[in-house]
Structure formats: structure tokens, C-alpha cells
Structure 1
């Protein structure tokens, strides 16, 4: 849904005639769109940078499709792991956005990255050859 713009972000709600605060709940600096929320936002990019340490070399912040292409091109043998990591990050970033908008709770990008790593670790422990992936977390 994040790729197809199916999430109910401020821009999609506004396009449907629903008046909402358009500011990003994570950085409070830009209008909330799917693209901004998951990849352009400083908060989200900090999380992605912690999870995928080698993103720092990119001159521009990638969108979700560019990250999937990057994984496909550079991490052939571990691509399932990285796809899981990115999908988990999208899910947790969306939950954090909702917690901030509707629950009045927030955590730092470092704390959320740790939660994501923990969730991914609990999933990959059931995979074959998990020992080859542990160094990536």
C-alpha cells in the first residue's frame, strides 16, 4: 500500500475532501505524503540509515522502488532479508506516525530502529542459515 499510495496519508485524505493537518507527524517540517513519510523525512531516513548502514553513500534519498532496486542489484544472496527489513521498517514507521497522530506517544528514530531490528531478528531466527544474516543486524 505504501508503494501504490494506498495509505491514508494527509495528502490522500485532503484529495478526498477531508480536512486534516497536512504536516508530517514525524518531522513537522513538510506536508505528509507516502513518499515523504517513508523516504524523504529526516526521521524515516535516520531509521533506514541505521538499518541499512550502506545507504549513506547515496547522494539523494531513495524512494521505496529505488531501495528495492538497490537491494536487487547489490544484495542478491541476502535480498529476502533486506526486503523483510524494509517492509518491517515501513510498517513500524506507519505505526509510529499513527501513535503520534492519534495516541500522543512518540519514540526516537534510534528506539524505533531497535524495535524493527528486534522484530526482524525474531522472524529470521526461524530461517535456514540464520547465522549468515545476524551480522547484518
Structure 2
């Protein structure tokens, strides 16, 4: 849904005539849209960079599609782990956005990165060669 523009971000809701705050609930600095939330926002970029430290090009702040393309082109052995990391990051960042917007709860980018890493580790340990793959995190 994030790739196809199906998430109900502020720009999407505003275009439908629904009045909402346009400011990003994660950084409170820029207008909220899918590109900003994933991964132009300092909050989400900090999470992705901490999860995927060896992806040096992240200084360029890729969008989701660029990140998937980079992983697909460059990381054959760890591809599934990186795809899982990105998908988990998108899911958890979206949930954090909703928690902040609707519940008034917030966690730091460091805490959310740890939560994502824990969830991914839990999943890949069940895979064949999971122990080897978990060492890369």
C-alpha cells in the first residue's frame, strides 16, 4: 500500500476534501506524504539507517522503490533479510505514525529500530540458515 499510494496520509486525505493536519506526526517539520514518511523524514531515515548500516548509499535518502531495487540488484545472499527489514520498517513506522496521530503515544527512533530488529530476528531464526543470517543484523 505504501508503494501504490494506498495509505491515508495527510496529502491523500486533503485531496479528498478531508481536513487534517498536514504536518508529519513523526518529525513535525514537513508536510506528510508517503515519500516523506518513508524515508525522507529524519525519524524514519534514522530507523532505516540503523537497521541497514552496510547499505552505504542511504545517505541519498531513497524512496521505497529505490531501496527495493538497490537490494534486488546488490545483495543476493541477504536479499530476503533486507526485504523483510524494509517491509517491517514500513509497517512499524506507519503504526508509529498512527500511534502519534491518534493515541498521543510516541517512541524514539532508536526504540522503534530495536523493536523492528527484534521482530525480524524472531522471524529469520525460523528460516533455514537463520542463525547465519541473523548474524548480519
Scaled to the shorter chain, the TM-score interval is over 0.9
Q: Which residue of 2 aligns with 1:134?
A: 134
Aligned residue in 2 for 1:44:
44
Q: CA deviation at 1:134?
A: 1.5
Q: Distance in 2 between matches of 1:59 and 1:79?
A: 20
Aligned length: 137
The aligned counterpart of 1:112 is 112
Structure 2 distance, partners of 1:23, 1:136, is 36
> CA offsets, 1:20-47, max 9 Å, x none?
0000000000000011001100000000
- Structure 1, unaligned runs of 5 or more: none
| RMSD, aligned α-carbons | 1.0
Match of 1:53 in 2: 53
TM-score (structure 2 length as normaliser): 0.96
* TM-score of the aligned structures, taking structure 1 as reference length: 0.96
Runs of 4+ in 1 over 3 A off after TM superposition: 55-59
Q: Report SS of the residue matched to 1:136.
A: coil
> Following TM superposition, by how much is the alpha carbon of 1:132 offset from its aligned partner in structure 2, in angstroms?
1.6
